[in-house]
Chain A
Amino acid sequence: MKADPKGVLTGSHTLTGNHACAEGAFAAGCRFLGLYPIVPSLEISERFLERAPEVGATFIQMEDEVSVLAAVLGASWTGKKSMTVTSGPGLSLMMEHLGLGVMLETPCVIVDIQRAGPALGMPGRPAQGDMMQARWGSHGDYEIIALSPSSPQEMFDYTIKAFNLSERYRIPVALMSDAYVAHLKEEIVIPHAEEIEIEPRRYYKGAKDKYLPFKRDKDFVPRMVNIGDGYKFHVTGLTHDDRGYPVMNEECQEYNVHPLVWKVRNYVDEIIEVQEAETEDAEVIIISYGATSRAALKAMEQARKSGIKVGSLRLVTVWPFPEKRVAELAKKVKAFVVPEMNFGQVVLEVERCSYGNANVIFVPHGENGVENTDDLLSAIKQAGQADKVESVIIEFNKGV
């Protein structure tokens, strides 16, 4: 399906990452925004509110983040593509409803503009400290999809992709950006509506009385209907069968929850997107995502100039984690260098998936700015010199 031209602001614009994200949402067909103001995600909702009347979108500012995500889930069931924008503390408050979204298999997009944490941290300062939270933050077992854009153009593109994935797999998708990318102003190109591919919602088309809200189709995804179409369905956050009725036993728990995990694990190849650069002959590979991949690419070029064979693996999809690709590369390289704006999150996954075949060097968020490559370059040099595989993560500049 093609995008609705009403929401597509075709042309070339100079936009911040946040504004680009709002445009991406409109282009993807998002017509409902639940919001609660929080730094540094404000500009997304501002842009959304400003353009909503023209596009024909609705929004509501709720009393807290808890109710925001509840309202977004409700809105999604009326047939409107829905999203919310927030930052760290807000994401923490949304955790319960993230679980409800997974359980009700409700498509929606959560944009998290990460700021330095924990607690109130440093509002407005970039960080990548919510990566693990996006994957593990709600109670119970589930899998989720998380994307991490690194430029305003990608904020636009991957917001659309997030909506498409969420409709395809009926799952909440997290767009894990950060304050740096969100406030970065760059030129972005918005294509014509007919050039934007949109995943339509997968609706049920059979007889009204035969509708089962959680009966999985061949593509492993149950079909949806809208409220008010007369299907009189029931859905619940309790463990349920195909009819959506609660059943409280071991068998049903297995029947209900295991597919929630399979839904993503069995389709990783379709979901995962990584961007590789010069990995063919690389001895050291920088694994990065979001804002840090900007520094990573810069460091790669500089290191190449000084003769070290460096490649870059950029995780566009952070969750599910590209296990296979990392494992393959681990066999070829000496070391992975993982820069993150936190004190060790995705690097643990890299360690797990390298199966002892490569060193893992972690470069935590230093005192220099996001795009500063000094630490990264010295880590690369250190990585190139190593001659044996260590059994632990080597932390660069430990104990600053």
Chain B
Amino acid sequence: MKAKETKTKEIQSVPSKKGEIHPMENLLRMDRMPHIWCPSCGIGLAVTAFASALEKANIDPDKISIVSGIGCTGRVAGYVKLDSFHTTHGRPIAFGTGIRVANPKIKVVVFSGDGDLIAIGGNHFIHAARRNIDMLVVCVNNFIYAMTGGQVAPTTPLAAYATTSPYGCVEPPFNIPYIADSSGAVYVARWTTLHIRRLINSLAEALQKKGFSVVEVISPCGMYYSRINKLGDGLDMMKFYHDNVEIRHGEDTKNLDIGFQTKIICGKFVDRERPSYMERYNQWLSGVKGGSRDEG
């Protein structure tokens, strides 16, 4: 992290031609460019896909709030021109729950990494899914804690190396779609950063979904995961995705485990309807004396 931050200071932003406007300028904070992500990182692609999905889904950007936690992906909130919150480690879902329940007119998007959402934030993840809080969770999974320098994550495949598994990871990884599905998410999909168009469509669809939607984005980490495990650079990872991803829509989520450099199954796995938290809340409220609520 240290190395990265000093690096960003040296890089000067690329001078743009006069009058040239970035196509995403209305959705990205151009005054914060260049971003902190390393070359070959996939988070930028995920952000671009999200911005495109926002346009595609045709949602009023004023009514969307984006919440991130800590970590590389945790910095996303700082680059997206929406009401954006960079909160504490593991708590963006809890923070977003507060926003959504206090003001049901706001669509909450939680954009964070695997370590943030599934490790320390695992409890909030399963509970928000159970409550079916109306939010979109974009979980960028790069199999490692990159911001702190490459520690083992609950998504690190068995036997993969990381700085806190110097002799190979001994813990089996989470299957994120499975845990999301079993806790009650209404929309679960997984894509890699190679499948940009599919990812955009999926995000746009999930944004319009009512309820707890999870989109897992598998992203290369050239700086740590690939380097420690000698997997080449970003391009090699993209090639790997190209050769080893199989798209199986509607696959049973229990078959979606990811091993070390094994086949990755992508697709949309769950798309169902369940009453959301606010729906249940309002239903309860209408049964209570004097209870009325016009919002949401």
Q: Do chains A and B touch in the complex (CB under 8 A)?
A: yes
Tell me if A72 is interfacial: C-beta within 8 Å of chain B: yes
B209 contacts which chain A residues (CB < 8 A)? none
User: Are B62 and A77 closer than 8 Å at their CB atoms?
Assistant: no
Check A237 against B97 for contact (C-beta < 8 Å).
Answer: no
The one of B67, B88, B94 in contact with A62, judged by C-beta atoms closer than 8 angstroms, is B94
Select the residue from B62, B83, B105 with max chain A CB neighbours within 10 A: B83
**Contact between chains at B88 and A228 (CB < 8 Å):** no
Task: Indicate if the CB atoms of B98 and A71 lie closer than 8 Å.
Answer: yes
The answer to whether A78 and B86 have CB atoms under 8 Å apart is no
- Name the residue of chain A whose CB is nearest to the CB of B131: A60
Knowing A236-B78, A236-B86, say if A75 contacts B99 (CB, 8 Å). yes
Specify which chain A residues have a CB less than 8 angstroms from the CB of B184 in the assembled complex: none
Does A186 sit within 8 A of B, measured CB to CB? Answer: no
A32-B91 contact given A231-B83, A234-B29, A235-B85, CB 8 Å threshold: no
Instruction: Provide the bound-state CA to CA distance between A77 and B106, in Å.
Output: 12
Contact flag A234-B99 (CB < 8 Å), given A63-B127, A67-B91: no
Size category of the B interface is: 35 or more
Please, which residues of chain B bring their CB within 8 A of the CB of A246? 78, 86
Q: Is the CB of B98 within 8 A of A227?
A: no
Residues from chain A with Cβ under 8 Å of B65 in the complex: 227-228
Is B86 a contact of A228 with CB atoms below 8 Å? no
Chain A contacts with B in 312-354, Cβ cutoff 8 A: none
Contact of B91 among A66, A75, A228 (CB under 8 A): A66
> CA A47 – CA B29 in complex, angstroms?
44
- Whether the pair A53, B87 counts as a contact (CB closer than 8 A) is no
**B121 → chain A closest CB, angstroms:** 9
Residues A227 and B83 in contact in the complex (CB < 8 Å), given A63-B123, A78-B103: yes
Given A62-B94, A62-B97, A100-B87, A227-B103 contact (CB < 8 Å):
yes
A contacts with B: majority SS: mixed
Is B291's CB within 8 Å of the partner chain A? yes
Which residues, 63 to 100 on B, are CB-close (under 8 Å) to A? 63, 65, 67, 77-78, 81-88, 91, 93-99
**A375 at the A/B interface (Cβ < 8 Å)?**
no
Cβ 8 A contact of B99, one of A74, A235, A236, A237: A74
**Distance between A386 CB and nearest chain B CB, rounded to angstroms:** 49
- In the complex the two chains form, what is the Cα distance from A231 to B63 in whole Å? 10
> Quick check: A71 and B290 within 8 Å, CB to CB?
no
Q: How far is the CA of A55 from the CA of B161 in the complex (A)?
A: 56
B78, B101, B289 pick with most chain A CB within 10 angstroms: B101
Chain A's closest residue to B99 (CB) is: A74
A222 to chain B, nearest CB (A): 16
Instruction: For the complex formed, measure the closest distance between the CB of A80 and the CB atoms of chain B, giving whole angstroms.
Output: 5
Shortest CB-to-CB span from B220 to chain A, Å, is 25
Kindly identify which residue among B63, B83, B97, B105 contacts A71, using a CB–CB cutoff of 8 Å.
Answer: B97
Give the Cβ gap from B25 to chain A, nearest Cβ, in Å: 12
Given contacts A53-B288, A237-B86, contact A74 B77 (CB under 8 A): no
Interface membership of B14, Cβ < 8 A? no
B285 close to chain A: CB less than 8 A: yes
Once the chains bind, are A228 and B87 in contact (CB under 8 Å)? Answer: no
Name the A residues within 8 Å of B293 (CB-CB): 56
What is the bound-complex CA distance between A245 and B293, given in angstroms?
A: 36
CB distance from A105 to the nearest CB of B (A): 13
In the A-B complex, the 8 residue pairs with the closest CB atoms: A74-B98, A71-B98, A53-B291, A67-B94, A75-B102, A236-B86, A70-B94, A78-B103
Chain B residues with CB under 8 Å of chain A are: 5, 29, 32, 61-63, 65, 67, 77-78, 81-88, 91, 93-99, 101-103, 105-106, 123-124, 127, 285, 288-293
